[in-house]
Copies of this chain bind each other. A is one copy, B any other.
Amino acid sequence: MLDVPMSTDAERRRALSRPAVFREPGALLYAGNCSDLFDASLAGKVTLNAWTRRSYPGRDLGEALPQVLSVGGWDAVAPQDWGLKLHCNEGVKIAYLKRGSLTLTLDGQKHELQAGDMFVVRPWQLHAFGDPHVVASHIIWVLFDVGVRRPHEQWYWPDWLAWSDRDRQRLTLLLSRNEQPSYRAGRDVARSFSEIDEIVSTGDIEGEETRLRLTISMMLLSFMNQLKTQGTGLDAALTSSLRTVRIFIARLEHALDEDWTLENMAAECSLSRTQFSQHCLAITNMTPVRYLQSIRLEAAKRKLASRSGTVTEIAHECGFSSSQYFATCYKRRFGIAPMETAHQPYTAVA
């Protein structure tokens, strides 16, 4: 059990002013290893929206939000060809999976997170994202430098949280000994994270610093209250309509040749277009028609590689009414024409 002594301002300043350590890529506790994510964002495979300092990828925070190392998130609208291998951060990471799904490895244990889950990674705790690659997902995080340069040191929260001392200590206690790998985010936490994401992706650092401060502060408070009152994670039970959509989506790949429209699919689940779209987004991080096309193209690629048949035939089987349009989409997705795939062995998602 970690205790949280009171400390002087001087001690606090000293802790925070020390340089970050363990920064050599070879070291066991190598701090930060986001290069795969960064490269992918440069290549346009994933959208990275983050405000950061030190070596973390994103727009520089400058003087704003002291002690925040990184705030923002990634939005991957398609399966990716990278993952974040085992690594650790010098700060405490508080994160929320807004959409899609994600495999989190923590303390050597794999956990399948779903949209609406949130989790904490403590300073110097080894973790990885992806199995091994990341699938379509939208995740938002805040990474705080709490002055911990070696594991098990004391935590210091930023001044601008404007919290009472008592609440600061409670927060440290709850976070430093959180046992569960993940929690279901409540309404307030979810809203705060979404607002953080919105601020970071649309606002400018100077004009929105106050709002971002308050939103982060509020998120932490809701987060803490949830840990305190809930302790144990809520049932990951799904609402019935979400379950319906989940089942529908699982079956969809066996009925690719039907003449689906958004209207169609929603009606099949007896839901409104909006509701159906939302659930589909939550599950796949793709909008319905986009997801449909994505699995149609995957199926087409598989068929092209595994058996003979004209491109037009296969296009029709997979629900494309025009072989020309099929070729256009195919090329945009995989970079090569359908004809070329027909003569090569099948390889998993590029």
On A, residues with C-beta under 8 Å from B are: 159-164, 166-167, 206, 209-211, 213-214, 217-218, 221
Contacts and interface: CB of A to CB of B under 8 A. Distances in A.
Q: How many copies does the complex hold?
A: 2
Contacts of A167: 210
Given A162-B161, A162-B162, A214 B221 contact: yes
Give the 3 A-B residue pairs with the shortest CB-CB distance, closest first: A162-B162, A167-B210, A163-B210
Contacts of A166: 206
21 contacts: A159-B162, A160-B162, A161-B162, A162-B162, A162-B210, A162-B213, A162-B214, A162-B217, A163-B210, A163-B213, A164-B209, A164-B210, A166-B206, A167-B210, A210-B221, A211-B221, A214-B214, A214-B217, A214-B218, A214-B221, A218-B218
Contacts of A162: 159-162, 210, 213-214, 217
Contacts of A213: 162-163
A221 B212 CA distance: 11
Nearest to A225: B211
A164 B162 CA distance: 13
Nearest to A211: B221
A166 B211 CA distance: 12
A162 B213 CA distance: 8
Contacts of A160: 162
Contacts of A210: 162-164, 167, 221
A70 to B, nearest CB: 20
Contacts of A164: 209-210
A241 to B, nearest CB: 20
